[in-house]
Structure 1
Amino acid sequence: MSDRLNDFLLHLSGTLPTDGPSSGDPHRFHWIAVADELEIAAIFHALEHLEGELSPQRRAMLDAALNLIAMRLRDDPELPEELIPRIAALYRRWGDSHPLRHLLLPWLTANGTVEALQEFADLIADDPPSRTAAAAVGFAPLLRHGDFNAEALYPRLLAALQHLSVAALVLDLSNFLFRSGRLQQHPAADVSNQLIDLLGGITTRLGQLEENAELTPEKLQLMRTQVSEGVALAVSLCDALALIGDKNAIGKLNQVLQLSHRQLQCEAAAALARLGVEEGTKHLAEMAKHPVVRLRALKFAEETGGLDAIEEEFKSPVARAEGELALWLSQETQFGLPPHEIELIDERELAWPGYDDLQNCYLFRYAYHMPAGSFQSLGIVGPLTHSFAADLTPWKPEDAYAAFAGWQAEHQDVFESEPAEWQEAQKQLADSLTARLQAEGYHVIQVIKLGYFFGDVRLIAVVRRQDGLPGVAVADLRTTTFYGSEGTDRPIGPHEAYMMHKGREFLANFNPNTYGM
């Protein structure tokens, strides 16, 4: 047994403390990503005999090991044949309550042999992970690699359609394999009646959820989860039924058009258009009027030959940019829903850091109106799609572009450091610049950081001006620039202010006529 393997097994078993002095470098076990077959077999044997509760340290180690072996199999899928049924047996023995058992699934799909794929299909059909995100880990290798026998998964994998956590994943994989030509017949073609019934049930359920207006916060969160799962499955069903070409689905697809969820309306309309139903083409043209689904509607219309049915104003570059920002804002990581208002306030070409050619830049004002109050800001579409949590509407378009450029641009000679990281010389420089701000009449509330810009150093601080106006001061060795916070109840803070400051300098170098400094 190699020293590295012995070291890992001792830590995993708890013989050596995983958080003690002997644990050393956190990357010490990265060799597992290139482990040989004997080492993998030994690690797996240890996993089979792993006993006791998982402490946070042992869980972190196990998490890393399972992921590293999946990486190893992704690059070199060879696995001792006798391990495959043992992997499935361990998955079942760990049970759904085990926090990491889903990480065994990509071992099977990355291996890609007929036996491994059959085991995977059995596990997903009989005992899938209860969370879609966890199950997706096992499906991912099948979407990345083309060198496996896709037929080995079917028809067994279709039995998993009864499980909501994996039904959409199964259909998405099936749609992908058929669309990419890996399978000559859609694997779910023989169960299209089941898919139609499933779509009808999901549509009815989503309709009921839309009518449920009186919700507590707890019920609202549960409803959002149910809607998210239902929408994902309905989208996959619409795609699958269109690919199969079963016209018996037309009635259920028309029912989907009655839901208020615009993404689903787009999916159902596209499926109808693919089935030769004119109503689908007309509905896509209507959907193109709504920014949040405009790009999807245009894509589907182009694929189905219905682009001419859409009015020109909704196909323009500005309309597409508006759609891109609305879609970005509606993501769960942003606001989670499309803006109630959105309008173009500026459009121009700019030389942009990191790009050789001029970039078309679009600046939109958007707004949300909620029971707790309204929020508005500016968002950019062009070299990036982005917005800030702060309100940029009081600022000129040139300043807004600068803030986005400062946020995006990266260079090894442009960086920041916070007070906790400062050496003595940096502390002295910060003290000197703070004293100068005070001499200039600023009341320094908090020093935030030092910014380094190609050898130039500046202090960023939250301040109050002599006239009482709060804001942010950026002071270098020569000048002080003040960024006020008037005009909004969500003003930019020190970080956004400094992004704007350094973005002005970036854009001035590329666009001297616009940003002459």
Structure 2
Amino acid sequence: MSDRLNEFLLHLSGALPSQAQTSGEPHRFHWIAAADDLEVAAIFHAIEHLPNDLPKDRRPYLDTALNLVAMRLRDEPELPDELIPRIAALYRRWGAEHPLRHLLLPWLTANGTIEALQEFADLTADDPPNRTSAAAVGFAPLMRHGDFNAEALYPRLLDALQHISVAALVLDLSNFLFRSGRLQQHPAAGVSGQLIDLLGGITSRLGQLEETSELTPEKLQVMRSQVSEGVALAVALCDALALIGDKNAIGKLNQLLTLSHRQLQCEAAAALARLGVEEGTKHLAEMAKHPVVRLRALKFAEEVEQLAAIDEEWKSPVARAEGELALWLSQETQFGIPPHEMELIDQRELAWPGFEEPQTCYLFRYAFHMPAGSFQSLGIVGPLTHSFAADLTPWKPEDAYAAFAGWQAEHQDVFETEPPEWQESQKQLADSLAARVVSEGYQVIQVVKLGYFFGDVRLVAVVRRADGIPGVAVADLRTTTFYSGEGTDRPIGPHEAYMMHKGREFLASFNPNTYGM
């Protein structure tokens, strides 16, 4: 047994003294991603003999092993045949409440042999992970690799359609394999009647949820999860039924058009258009008016060769840019809903850090109106699509572009350090710069960081000006620049202010004749 393997197994088993255990951080074992067959077999043997209720301090090592072996199998899929049924048996033994058992599934799908895929289909049909995000880990290798026997998954995998946590994943994979030509017939063609019934049930359920009111925060969170799952499944069903070409689905697809959810309307309209129903094309043209689904509506219309049916106003570069920002803002990682207002406030060509050719930049003002109040800011589309949690509307377009450029641009000579990281010389420099800022009439509330810009050093601090206006000061060895917090109840903070500061310099250097700050 190699030293590296022995060290890892000792950490996984908890056999080391507590002091030695804490020194063995999981990131030290990244060699597992390139482990040989014997090492993989030994690691799995050790995992088999772990208790189900593994102590929390040893769980990171199990997490590391499961993830890194999956990575190794992604690059070198060979796995000893005798391990495959043992992986399935361990998955079942760990049970639904085990926090990491879903990480065994990509071992099977990354391996990709007929036996491994059949085991994966059985596990997914009988006992899938109870969270969609966890289940997706096992499906991911099948969406990346094309050198496996896709027929080994079917028809068994279709039995998993009864489980809400994996139904959409099963259909998305089936749609992908058929669309990419991996399968000559859609694997769910034989159960299209079942899919139509399922779509009808999902439509009814989503309709009921739309009518629900007066929810507590807890119930609202549950409802959002149910809507998210229902939407994902309805989208996959629309795609599958259109690919299968079953016109018996037209009635249920028309019902889906009656819901208020615009993405679902767009997906149903696209499915109808692909089935040759004129109403589908008309509805896609209507959906293109709404920024949040505009790009999907245009894509679907192009696929069915009906792009000419959509007004030119909604196909322009500005309209497409508006749609891109609306879609980005509506993501769960951002606001989760599309903005209530959008307005183009600036458009220009700029030489942009990281791009060889000038970039067309669009700057939009957007607003959300909530029961607790309104929020507005500026978002960019062009070299990047982005916005900040702070309100940029009090700032000129040039300053907003600078903030986005400063956020995106990367260079090894442009970086920041915060007080806990400082050496003595940096502390002295920060104290000196802070003293000068005070001498200029500012009250220093908090020193935030030092910024290094191609050899120039700046202090970034939250301050209050002599007239009482709060803001951020960026002070280098020569000057102090003040970034005001006036004009909004969500002003930029020290990080956004410094992005704007360094972004101004980036853009000025890239646009010496046309960019004035």
TM bucket (normalised to shorter chain) is over 0.9
CA distance in structure 2 between the aligned counterparts of 1:370 and 1:270, rounded to whole angstroms: 31
Tell me, yes or no, if the aligned pair for 2:257 and 2:264 is still in contact at 8 Å. Answer: yes
- How far off its partner does 1:157 sit? 0.4
* TM-score, structure 1 normalization: 0.98
Residue 113 (structure 1) aligned with residue 113 (structure 2): yes
Residue 299 (structure 1) aligned with residue 299 (structure 2): yes
CA distance in structure 2 between the aligned counterparts of 1:243 and 1:465, rounded to whole angstroms: 64
Moved more, 45-54 or 302-311: 45-54
Deviations 1:50-105 (Å, cap 9, x if unpaired)?
12632222110000001111111111111111111111111111110111111110
The equivalences for 1:287-436 within 5 A come to 287-436=287-436
Residue 254 (structure 1) aligned with residue 254 (structure 2): yes
After superposition, the Cα gap between the structure-2 partners of 1:19 and 1:277, relative to the gap in structure 1 and judged at 3 Å, is farther
2:212 aligned residue: 212
1:96 aligned residue: 96
CA distance in structure 1 between the aligned counterparts of 2:435 and 2:13, rounded to whole angstroms: 57
2:268 aligned residue: 268
SS state at 2:195 partner: helix
CA distance in structure 2 between the aligned counterparts of 1:261 and 1:303, rounded to whole angstroms: 22
2:61 aligned residue: 61
- How far off its partner does 1:32 sit? 1.6
2:442 aligned residue: 442
- How far off its partner does 1:396 sit? 0.4
SS state at 1:198 partner: helix
Deviations 1:314-343 (Å, cap 9, x if unpaired)?
000000000000000000110110000000
* 1:333 partner letter: T
Tell me, yes or no, if the aligned pair for 2:11 and 2:21 is still in contact at 8 Å. Answer: no
1:146 aligned residue: 146
Tell me, yes or no, if the aligned pair for 1:17 and 1:23 is still in contact at 8 Å. Answer: no
> Which 4+ stretches in 1 moved above 6 angstroms?
none
Tell me, yes or no, if the aligned pair for 1:11 and 1:18 is still in contact at 8 Å. Answer: no
CA distance in structure 1 between the aligned counterparts of 2:15 and 2:74, rounded to whole angstroms: 31
* 1:288 partner letter: A
Measured on the aligned residues, the alpha-carbon RMSD in Å equals: 1.2
SS state at 1:379 partner: strand
* 2:128 partner letter: P
1:277 aligned residue: 277
CA distance in structure 1 between the aligned counterparts of 2:51 and 2:361, rounded to whole angstroms: 58
1:133 aligned residue: 133
Tell me, yes or no, if the aligned pair for 2:52 and 2:98 is still in contact at 8 Å. Answer: no
Tell me, yes or no, if the aligned pair for 2:11 and 2:24 is still in contact at 8 Å. Answer: no
Tell me, yes or no, if the aligned pair for 2:262 and 2:293 is still in contact at 8 Å. Answer: yes
CA distance in structure 2 between the aligned counterparts of 1:440 and 1:110, rounded to whole angstroms: 63
CA distance in structure 2 between the aligned counterparts of 1:394 and 1:249, rounded to whole angstroms: 51
- How far off its partner does 1:22 sit? 7.0
CA distance in structure 1 between the aligned counterparts of 2:434 and 2:12, rounded to whole angstroms: 52
SS state at 2:28 partner: coil
Tell me, yes or no, if the aligned pair for 1:11 and 1:17 is still in contact at 8 Å. Answer: no
1:498 aligned residue: 498
Residue 78 (structure 1) aligned with residue 94 (structure 2): no
SS state at 2:27 partner: coil
Tell me, yes or no, if the aligned pair for 2:26 and 2:60 is still in contact at 8 Å. Answer: no
CA distance in structure 1 between the aligned counterparts of 2:443 and 2:214, rounded to whole angstroms: 49
Deviations 1:8-55 (Å, cap 9, x if unpaired)?
222222211476367445433222212221222222122222126322
The equivalences for 1:188-207 within 5 A come to 188-207=188-207
* TM-score, structure 2 normalization: 0.98
SS state at 1:347 partner: strand
Deviations 1:129-167 (Å, cap 9, x if unpaired)?
100111111101101110010000000000000000000
Q: Which consecutive residues of structure 2, in runs of 5 or more, have no partner in the other structure?
A: none
Residue 508 (structure 1) aligned with residue 508 (structure 2): yes
Tell me, yes or no, if the aligned pair for 1:342 and 1:364 is still in contact at 8 Å. Answer: yes
CA distance in structure 2 between the aligned counterparts of 1:504 and 1:282, rounded to whole angstroms: 46
CA distance in structure 1 between the aligned counterparts of 2:93 and 2:22, rounded to whole angstroms: 31
After superposition, the Cα gap between the structure-2 partners of 1:280 and 1:55, relative to the gap in structure 1 and judged at 3 Å, is same
Q: Which consecutive residues of structure 1, in runs of 5 or more, have no partner in the other structure?
A: none
* 1:431 partner letter: D
Deviations 1:153-188 (Å, cap 9, x if unpaired)?
000000000000000000000000000000000000
- How far off its partner does 1:359 sit? 0.2
Tell me, yes or no, if the aligned pair for 1:403 and 1:499 is still in contact at 8 Å. Answer: yes
Residue 484 (structure 1) aligned with residue 484 (structure 2): yes
Residue 12 (structure 1) aligned with residue 12 (structure 2): yes
Deviations 1:278-304 (Å, cap 9, x if unpaired)?
000000000000000000000000001
1:232 aligned residue: 232
CA distance in structure 2 between the aligned counterparts of 1:417 and 1:110, rounded to whole angstroms: 40
- How far off its partner does 1:473 sit? 1.0
Residue 159 (structure 1) aligned with residue 168 (structure 2): no
CA distance in structure 2 between the aligned counterparts of 1:275 and 1:45, rounded to whole angstroms: 52
2:286 aligned residue: 286
CA distance in structure 2 between the aligned counterparts of 1:442 and 1:13, rounded to whole angstroms: 57
- How far off its partner does 1:516 sit? 4.2
Q: How many residues are paired up?
A: 517
SS state at 2:58 partner: helix
Tell me, yes or no, if the aligned pair for 1:238 and 1:253 is still in contact at 8 Å. Answer: yes
CA distance in structure 2 between the aligned counterparts of 1:298 and 1:163, rounded to whole angstroms: 33
After superposition, the Cα gap between the structure-2 partners of 1:451 and 1:402, relative to the gap in structure 1 and judged at 3 Å, is same
- How far off its partner does 1:395 sit? 0.5
- How far off its partner does 1:438 sit? 1.4
Tell me, yes or no, if the aligned pair for 1:402 and 1:501 is still in contact at 8 Å. Answer: yes
Identity %: 86
Tell me, yes or no, if the aligned pair for 1:347 and 1:361 is still in contact at 8 Å. Answer: yes
